[in-house]
Structure 1
């Protein structure tokens, strides 16, 4: 049974082209058993109709603060008390600004101030508007007030721009809502612990337009960060370039190169972390010297030579410096998977290594499912193939149980 059954979700829709996506979000929520009531701002009415939203949600749509019929019984206060969670999707720059300043000049902003329930924002706006210092300051202020957030995603926008500002997909928002209610039921046995997790690929510049990288999507590392945070850990996620939405409640540090990733790890582990998980697919090599200008084709040659040097071994460096009490690594292999992983476990001084076969097309890089072998100095465990989010929950449980029963050597 879904954990959304009989959950009461108030969905606020503000003005923006992404408003049409909220129709799918309502469908997902009601299908999972949630009760959804919708509140529209005046701007939202230009993009979606009250009749459509009422038909899908099964409830009348509210849009007016001073509705004589509703306000006869202080309707906006009752609605604020009714919700288990308020979700604003899309959340425009204007709404985020008004909410941050504590304004209550329409029904939706009034509800957000009057409620004692959590509020989740799914921002959506032009990339320049999202990057503007005022919007960033407003978003930061709301985060400091424990307002939840998902996104925005990066990509092509309706206006033709490309960059951060797209509203997260309805399925991602639905997953975040599900995770929110799951978290309230999950034992917070990692409270007080600091976990540092790396994710995604690194990008090593050849010149200003070319780079060396790999096919890592970052999904496994992001799922691990979400699972650890759900159990109460303070999580720092250090990520190479990916398309994954930032997990709620996680300190996301974005980097590109292996050097930047190592520096970010060290700066976020000045005090010894409880657990480090190296889930990133770090490029083994980088250019000895990246050029400042684009390398041009040589008309008289069909070949070009690049001089590569080894990248720093992030996990080995952090292990040597004892930056975490427990060190967990990943081994992405295409052959002799377990054998090679066991070698890395010893060579890098890890407590646990998680090996997966990236030669398989049904798991690993760019896939939503994965299958791994978990190896310690004394045991080997092979959980069944599963969705990365489910597998991450199992892996966090394994790591927690290992750390609770095995004295740290760091």
Structure 2
């Protein structure tokens, strides 16, 4: 299943290191070539020989111990890997990577690789919930790192809670699924819209909404990971462009409509996550409006409904819309699916404190034209995007058969 796949396992120090030995065994049995780098702390729990026996490869732990003088070891390993997994990942190594620190062989290799990086945290439940750790995880999510969520159970420290390293069998299955699904969109063009729009009132004021763009940027990154030519049409946000994605920045609803239509004819998938303004000021003042006594009224006019316009103009494109609702989520989503001639609507309740606008996590239900209805519980938006895209790809493959 993993024949000819090259996996680099970075092991940091924690009692869960013993599971990393089992993971190497599982991956090797599945046909992968596995190489291991250990931190100094990891070697306090398990000797390098254990990993060497299971992988049948040299184990690396000293940046300055060059086993092959013809290459620089940490650069060679970074270039060699098809996938890099950090397991177990301590709070320490997560913090270093989030802040670009390279002070040992694990962290310098992680900074040098261009392969996908997966992190499997393992730590005390309170450490995992610490604001600094959550902040570092959030930053790594934005950088495109994928996390294998820890499971809940009895921890070595005596606590019961979230923090257990995921079981080796589950990690190996995720790796196999990743390579099986990889590049399913190669040769396809995916257009994603993201973020808010701004509708100007005068030179210093505008109407907008709370959209952060995080969900749309995650969908664009997931599409690029699957090999698609990905065009991201973004309203004003503070997020960096995902790797491998062409980003087009816009401001108003009209700007976004024009940018989408310029890409629409040869698009295979259009994923419309942007929170586009439904109304704009009828008059845009050329000078700053001065305050005056009493109330003031701004006349508004409708903007073009981009999703409905795309549905009306559809000629074989797979059209995916998002519905940010505050009540009757399923009812409104199903109505939107039919009324706007979409293929899928992904709906969520933006009033939830842990999900929705500005959050790093989301909880959604996807509705499909063929009766599909599947709910995803709270997940980081990066991981949720991958799973949503996988469902859509599978649905379209079944439709084509």
Relative distance call for 1:80 and 1:369 in structure 2 (3 A) is: closer
What value does the CA root-mean-square deviation take over the aligned residues?
A: 4.1
Tell me whether 1:221 sits opposite 2:221 in the alignment.
Answer: no
Aligned to 2:366: 374
Secondary structure of residue in 2 paired with 1:330: strand
| Alpha-carbon displacement from aligned partner over 1:85-144 (angstroms, at most 9, x marks no partner) | 79x9999xxxxxxxxxxxxxxxxxxxxxxx9x99669xxxxxxxxxxxxxxxxxxxxxxx
TM-score when scaled to structure 2?
0.61
Aligned to 1:284: 278
Measure, in 1, the Cα distance between the counterparts of 2:68 and 2:309: 64
Q: 1:295 Cα shift?
A: 0.8
Aligned to 2:304: 312
| Alpha-carbon displacement from aligned partner over 1:152-173 (angstroms, at most 9, x marks no partner) | xxxxxxxxxxxxxxxx978645
Relative distance call for 1:276 and 1:375 in structure 2 (3 A) is: same
Q: 1:204 Cα shift?
A: 1.0
Tell me whether 1:385 sits opposite 2:380 in the alignment.
Answer: no
Secondary structure of residue in 1 paired with 2:218: helix
Relative distance call for 1:78 and 1:335 in structure 2 (3 A) is: closer
Tell me whether 1:250 sits opposite 2:242 in the alignment.
Answer: no
Q: 1:184 Cα shift?
A: 6.2
Aligned to 1:234: 229
Aligned to 1:132: none
Measure, in 2, the Cα distance between the counterparts of 1:249 and 1:343: 35
Q: 1:190 Cα shift?
A: 1.3
In structure 1, which of residues 189, 196, 211 is the aligned counterpart of residue 184 of structure 2? 189
Q: 1:383 Cα shift?
A: 2.0
Q: 1:288 Cα shift?
A: 1.3
In structure 2, which of residues 367, 378, 391 is the aligned counterpart of residue 398 of structure 1? 391
Relative distance call for 1:333 and 1:170 in structure 2 (3 A) is: closer
Secondary structure of residue in 1 paired with 2:268: strand
Give the conservation status (yes or no) of the 8 Å contact 1:269–1:324.
Answer: no
Q: 1:270 Cα shift?
A: 3.8
Aligned to 1:156: none
| Unaligned 5+ runs, structure 1 | 10-25, 38-57, 63-69, 92-114, 122-146, 149-167
Q: 1:81 Cα shift?
A: 2.8
Measure, in 1, the Cα distance between the counterparts of 2:71 and 2:249: 40
| Unaligned 5+ runs, structure 2 | 21-35, 40-59, 85-96, 101-108, 117-134, 148-173
1:274-353 equivalent positions in 2, closer than 5 A: 274-298=268-292, 301-322=293-314, 325-353=317-345
Q: 1:403 Cα shift?
A: 1.7
Q: 1:230 Cα shift?
A: 1.2
Give the conservation status (yes or no) of the 8 Å contact 2:355–2:378.
Answer: no
